[in-house]
Structure 1
Amino acid sequence: MDLVHRFTPKVEKILNQNPFDLDKSLLKICKLLKTNIIHFDWVGFYFTNSKKTHLELKSFYGTPTEHKKIPFGKGVCGQVAISNKKLIVPDVKLQKNYISCNVNVKSEIVIPILLDQENIGQIDVDSNSINPFTKNDVELLEFICNKIALKIKTLKYGLD
């Protein structure tokens, strides 16, 4: 069974809780991913600030980080904020524009959360292994980002 099918019921249950609390739901998703996927050593969500100049850490599960705000263009997350495209870094030592959150991190994947083609945030996953991310990991993270964007759109416009 692929990861998307394995995690769909759990993610949908988290995002359909009533009453809905975005912060709690994001934290539950972070915890779900980190505790169930062995090479996900840190999972967090960053969201774009209102002026669209930097990202702000909303929720995470893993080792605390000092990087609560990341300027657009800085590091892997900041690059994704500008490009609106996923970025997979198999070995962070080879990445020139990299912000180290933890000395143990060896690789990173960042997937944007797009709402009506606008980058409103992203999921950031760090691994303490070199090149661990698979196609299934990417598909799962993209699925989660799409579900979060849809939930935020529903809340924003009052759609069911």
Structure 2
Amino acid sequence: MKTADKISYSELIDRTKNIVSGEGTRDEKLNQVCSMLEEHVEIFDWVGFYLVDPDADRELVLGPYVGEETDHTRIPFGKGICGQAANSLETFVVQDVSKEDNYLACSMEVQAEIVIPVMKNDTFVAELDIDSHTKNSISEEHREMLEEICDIVSKLF
């Protein structure tokens, strides 16, 4: 059961800092961040990280995530919302995925998506991808919080 109303966004930021500075591997910590966001933000239905594959040319590989399984385990830069964010190095917010020509459908239930690049010393290393089953659900406050979380998470790379 989600507890979205029981925790503030500033508390999510603080918890992210504690996760990053705590014990565990990078992937364990990324999974903890995914779980925390999915649990405490009511509209976040799938939360995951795509990592830059150092052995492939301009390709993302699925990292830790929480939610339904996805067929999209590898995404070339430029393809879909995740690939567009990888190319532009900018946050993408899509309030209605049905209106996007370059959308890779992970589930028929996904209605909105936000993708935030993770930068380490001005180098793109990963991105946080979040799907929502509710159209027009991603707020500017969500965006600001998630960009701050990605800045904190970048210390893991």
2:93 aligned counterpart, secondary structure: strand
1:105 equivalent in structure 2: 110
Deviation at 1:2, TM superposition (A): 5.4
1:21 equivalent in structure 2: 25
Are positions 1:44 and 2:44 aligned together? no
Pairwise CA RMSD: 1.3
Question: After superposition, what is the alpha-carbon deviation per residue over 1:38-63, rounded to whole angstroms, capped at 9, x for unaligned?
Answer: 00000000011113421001110011
Structure 1 spans left out of the alignment, 5+ residues? 153-160
Structure 2 spans left out of the alignment, 5+ residues? 1-6
2:12 aligned counterpart, secondary structure: helix
1:69 equivalent in structure 2: 74
1:56 equivalent in structure 2: 61
- When normalised by structure 2's length, the TM-score is 0.91
Query: Contact 1:2–1:136 at 8 Å: present in 2 too?
Result: no
1:6 aligned counterpart, secondary structure: helix
* Residue identity opposite 2:28 in structure 1: K
Q: Distance in 1 between matches of 2:94 and 2:43?
A: 14
1:145 equivalent in structure 2: 150
| Equivalent of residue 118 in structure 1, options 103, 114, 123 | 123
Q: What stretches of structure 1 move > 3 A for 4+ residues in a row?
A: none
- When normalised by structure 1's length, the TM-score is 0.89
Aligned length: 150
Residue range with higher mean Cα deviation, 114-123 or 94-103: 114-123
| Equivalent of residue 33 in structure 1, options 31, 37, 40 | 37
Q: Distance in 2 between matches of 1:41 and 1:134?
A: 15
Q: Sequence identity of aligned pairs in percent? A: 33
Question: After superposition, what is the alpha-carbon deviation per residue over 1:83-106, rounded to whole angstroms, capped at 9, x for unaligned?
Answer: 000100010000000000011000
1:31 aligned counterpart, secondary structure: helix
Query: Contact 2:26–2:156 at 8 Å: present in 1 too?
Result: no
Q: Distance in 1 between matches of 2:138 and 2:53?
A: 28
